[in-house]
A = this chain, B = another copy of it.
Amino acid sequence: MKTRLLKDALYEQVARIGKAVSSPKRLEMLELLAQGEKTVEALTEELSIDVKLTSAHLRTLKEARLVVPRRDGRYIYYRLAGKDVANLWVNLREVAEEHLVELKLALRQISESPSQLVAVSRAALLEQVISGDVVVIDVRPQSEYDEAHLPFARSMPLVELEKRLSELPTDKEIVAYCRGPFCLLSDEAVALLSARGYRIRKISDGVSEWQAAGLPVEHNSCET
């Protein structure tokens, strides 16, 4: 029957998206690109893989229309095709976290001490920030902060943290965040600052998680 042929064609198309997200390296790329556009070189660096392999994976993502390239001089910048793509990544990760025991176990290695994690809800945290009880710092690279960041968050890239300690309050609780639950930047910040006596904890959310939950984020530079 011909309805079978039509159905096959429909599911085949959705499977193109599925195939694109079936590789660990491509998923890592999507998470990085969710922080803002990046060059092939930058992605290569972050993923610790060969440039040619990066290019090949980007090609796959491009063919599934999940990423879009833009040339600027000698560099080619890739960005996500839309917010829905960042959302899909969060969705996939959450399903994996919910159902895969192996992932739950592996995640425990990141935040070994649960005391590092902020206990309150997103909404409650936001209130604490507004009332001034808590300072939220974004420890990702400056460029990612510029692209989008949590409301009221201050940019404090991990690499600059040690020389900018004077900017941090000693009488308030500090909450760090980075790219999401798989990102280790905020954990390094917690380690560094708590060793120096600061009251610091982290949230596992990144901008994508915040947005996927329907909460607003702030932008510095104006974009589409």
- Say whether chain A's binding surface is mostly helix, strand, loop, or mixed: helix
Q: Which of A177-206 contact B (CB under 8 A)?
A: 182, 184
Asked whether A22 and B24 contact (CB < 8 A) given A11-B182, A14-B92, the answer is: no
A167 interface contact, C-beta 8 A: no
| Number of copies of this kind of chain in the complex | 2
Complexed CA–CA distance, A14 and B89 (Å):
9
A99 within 8 A of B: yes
Q: How many residues of A contact B (CB 8 A)?
A: 50
User: How far is the CB of A181 from the nearest CB of chain B, in Å?
Assistant: 8
**Which residue numbers of A lie inside 8 Å of B, CB to CB?**
3-4, 6-19, 21-25, 27-28, 48, 64-66, 81-82, 84-85, 87-88, 91-96, 98-100, 102-103, 106-107, 109-110, 182, 184
